[in-house]
Amino acid sequence: MPPKTKKAALADMLENLSKCDFDKFCSRLLDRREEPRVRRRQVEGKNFLQIADVLVSTFTEAGAVKVAVELLECANCGQEVEELVEVIAGLDSKPGTSDTARPSAGATGVDTTSDDKHFVDKHRIQLIERVSHMEPILDRLLEKGVLQEEAYNKIRALPTSQQKMRELYSGCLKAGAASKAIFYDILLKFEEFLIDDLKTNH
């Protein structure tokens, strides 16, 4: 039976990690520099259910998913990221929920439209034409491991923002939902007004 809540989905994901990956996940959780911070006493010696509790109580149920995706990416747990994103997307699209009732995509790290097409795919043309803050976006993609150093340097050398965006779409954004979720979250930070306009008017 699939989980009924994001907290249950997080617990299932943590339970399925190997001991090594679970330990890496917990270590990176403690290493996070952004607020709110998780304290060592909240994590050490805790099992997967207790860690899921810590994630939800610290970041809220929606925010905990975003943090979990980030930490799994850092731990190179790509398969687990894909599975978690898929489960959460399924929870958000259950009958009886609406776009207005859902947590913001930025909080979950997941943003699909009513036809299950990801936001960054649905608005590809507009994003290629209008995204302008490419340098910090590329920096964050490199930091999150979505871009590798070689690709980062290649894209930065391109002369226009449009060319840089096209290169992203033909490269790392084809990797799957996890990469798109991270990219979308970065866009929310650096292109907030553009994202709001696309949501409202397109």
Q: Is 16 left (phi over 0), alpha (psi -120 to 50) or beta?
A: alpha
What percentage of the chain reaches a pLDDT higher than 90?
A: 32
- Per the CB < 8 A criterion, the answer to whether 152 and 143 are in contact is no
Does some domain include residue 73?
Answer: yes
Q: Indicate if the alpha-carbon torsion angle 160, 163, 169, 175 is positive or negative.
A: negative
Helix (H, G, I), strand (E, B) or coil at 157: coil
pLDDT > 60? residue 101: no
Task: State the pTM of this model.
Answer: 0.47
Q: Which of 106, 138, 155 corresponds to the end of one domain?
A: 106
35 burial level (CB within 10 Å; 0-12, 13-18, 19+): exposed
Q: In this predicted model, what pLDDT tens digit does every residue of 16-44 receive, in sequence order?
A: 999 998 998 999 999 988 888 899 999 99
Q: Could you tell me the residue range of the domain that residue 125 belongs to? A: 119-201
Q: Per residue in 61-91, pLDDT tens?
A: 878 888 888 888 877 787 888 888 888 777 7
Can you give the pLDDT at residue 53? 93
Assess whether pLDDT exceeds 50 at residue 95: no
Question: Domain ends where: 106, 136, 163?
Answer: 106
Residue 199 reports pLDDT greater than 50 = yes
| Count: domains in the chain | 2
Q: Are 3 and 49 in contact (CB under 8 A)?
A: no
User: Which of residues 106, 128, 151 is at a domain's end?
Assistant: 106
What is residue 92's predicted lDDT score, i.e. its pLDDT?
A: 62
Give me the pLDDT at residue 3, please.
63
Question: What pLDDT shows up at residue 51?
Answer: 93
Kindly tell me the burial class for residue 162, based on how many C-beta atoms sit within 10 Å of its own C-beta (0-12, 13-18, 19 or more).
Answer: middle
pLDDT at 46 over 50: yes
Average of per-residue pLDDT across 135-144? 90
Structure tokens at 97: 């929920």
- Of the candidate ranges 15-19, 53-57, 115-119, the one whose mean pLDDT is the lowest: 115-119
Evaluate whether residue 51 is within a structural domain: yes
Exposed e or buried b per residue across 40-65, where buried means at least 16 C-beta atoms within 10 angstroms of its C-beta? eebbeeeebeebbbbbbebbbbbbbb
Shared-domain flag, residues 78 and 43? yes
Determine, yes or no, domain membership for 39. yes
Please report, for the domain that includes residue 32, its CATH number.
1.10.533.10
pLDDT at 137: 92
